[in-house]
């Protein structure tokens, strides 16, 4: 296992484009870190700098407290898993797994022992004589992962490894990678644009946007205590509902239709602001009006519904603003009806509209 540290790391390409700005992160031994964000946010570039495949323009990369900026990829002890699998189509599963060990000059008995052991971990023992074209997408991905772990590397780097799989295969491979991490214990940095993968796999998540770190924390921290509107909207599915509002004394008023909520005695910190964003998560609501201390009763006009099986999404309009609500399948309201719902105060969020930062309440 290895400990990684990135200090004020920047990446600027020769054409002047800056992909990563002042990236600071410490990764503990054996930790599973996920870099998440939309396409073009700099997460893959950061991974490639850790791997030694991209030069660091400025800043430091430390490996076990030693400066490693100029260390070659081979000397960093990393193993990478790519989105494209990068398997040799003319080689069998056995030979694909053995390829790296053979290059390093290990003897045949050791190679066979390592291949059989790794294949057993990944459920590939019955497929060692097959070519990649004879495998399913999930099986090919397991071979790609196996080729990485067979080297007993201290650091695993995974770049969108599940993006080519269908939904069912992604769920299966997520659990297999988590189980593999527990068994192997290597420090892992995993890149994805899928926040569900990030939430279900990570010890800690690094949320990135346009080259900048927006937040670092456990899945629970980022879900329940987002640092800004970007994190609040990116983490969670469907995303958090946001309504532009204005503070007026003890009330917050929705801008478009003037709906006023006299609730700010419970949120005194919000009174210091003028223009705010009012937020709540679709799954935080309860169908029907509940009344009592610490509960906000609201209603919205239903525009569209989606039955997803165990839950349903309700697309609605409240005070001139479009929102999404998540309800039980037996609670689906009719299109065009007025849907009454309640939100507990502890599930309400307020953000400074000027900066997007969360107002701590």
pLDDT value at residue 35 = 97
Question: For residues 122 and 129, what is the distance between their CA atoms, to the nearest angstrom?
Answer: 15
pLDDT value at residue 170 = 80
Name the architecture of domain 4-232.
Answer: 3-Layer(aba) Sandwich (3.40)
pLDDT value at residue 166 = 78
pLDDT value at residue 131 = 93
Taking the domains of the chain in order of start, what are their residue ranges? 4-232, 238-352
pLDDT value at residue 1 = 66
pLDDT value at residue 102 = 86
**Angular region, 279: left φ>0, alpha ψ -120 to 50, beta rest:** beta
pLDDT means per 10 residues in the chain (361 residues)?
A: 93 97 97 95 96 96 94 87 81 90 86 88 88 88 83 86 79 84 88 92 97 97 97 94 95 87 95 97 92 89 95 94 95 95 96 96 77
- Output the pTM of the full model: 0.89
Beta-strand relationship, 204-209 and 32-36? parallel
pLDDT value at residue 81 = 84
Write down the CATH number for the domain with range 238-352: 2.40.50.140
Give 222-226 contacts, CB < 8 A, sequence gap 24+: 223/199, 225/358, 226/349, 226/358
What is the widest separation between alpha-carbon atoms in the chain? 78
């Amino acid at each position: 296992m290895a400990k990684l540290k990135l200090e004020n790391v920047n990446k600027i390409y020769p054409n002047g484009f800056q992909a990563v700005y002042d990236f600071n992160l410490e990764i503990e031994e054996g930790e599973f870190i996920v870099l998440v964000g939309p396409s073009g946010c700099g997460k893959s570039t950061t991974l490639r700098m850790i791997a030694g495949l991209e030069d660091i323009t400025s800043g430091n990369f430390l490996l076990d407290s030693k400066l490693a900026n100029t260390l070659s990829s081979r000397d960093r002890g990393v193993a990478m898993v790519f989105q494209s699998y990068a398997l040799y189509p003319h080689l069998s599963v056995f030979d694909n797994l053995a390829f790296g060990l053979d290059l390093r000059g290990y003897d045949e008995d050791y190679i066979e022992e390592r291949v059989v052991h790794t294949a057993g971990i990944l459920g590939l023992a019955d497929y060692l004589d097959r070519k990649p074209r004879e495998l399913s997408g999930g099986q090919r991905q397991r071979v790609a992962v196996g080729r990485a772990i067979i080297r007993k590397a201290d650091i695993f780097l995974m770049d969108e490894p599940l993006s080519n799989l269908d939904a069912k295969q992604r769920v299966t491979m997520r659990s297999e990678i988590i189980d593999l991490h527990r068994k192997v214990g290597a420090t892992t940095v995993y890149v994805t644009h899928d926040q569900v993968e990030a939430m279900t796999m990570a010890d800690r998540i690094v949320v990135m946007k346009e080259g900048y770190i927006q937040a670092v924390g456990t899945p629970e921290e980022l879900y329940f205590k987002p640092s800004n509107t970007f994190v609040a909207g990116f983490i969670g599915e469907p995303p958090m509902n946001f309504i532009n509002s204005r503070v007026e004394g003890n009330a917050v008023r929705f801008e478009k239709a003037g709906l006023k909520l006299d609730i700010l005695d419970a949120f005194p910190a919000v009174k210091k602001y003028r223009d705010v964003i009012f937020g709540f998560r679709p799954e935080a609501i309860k169908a029907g009006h509940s009344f009592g201390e610490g509960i906000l009763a609201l209603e919205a006009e239903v525009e569209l519904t989606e039955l997803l099986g165990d839950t349903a999404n309700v697309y609605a309009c409240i005070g001139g603003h479009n929102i999404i609500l998540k309800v039980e399948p037996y609670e689906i309201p009719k299109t065009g009806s007025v849907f009454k719902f309640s939100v507990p105060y502890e599930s309400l969020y307020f953000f400074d509209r000027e900066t997007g930062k969360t107002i701590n309440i």
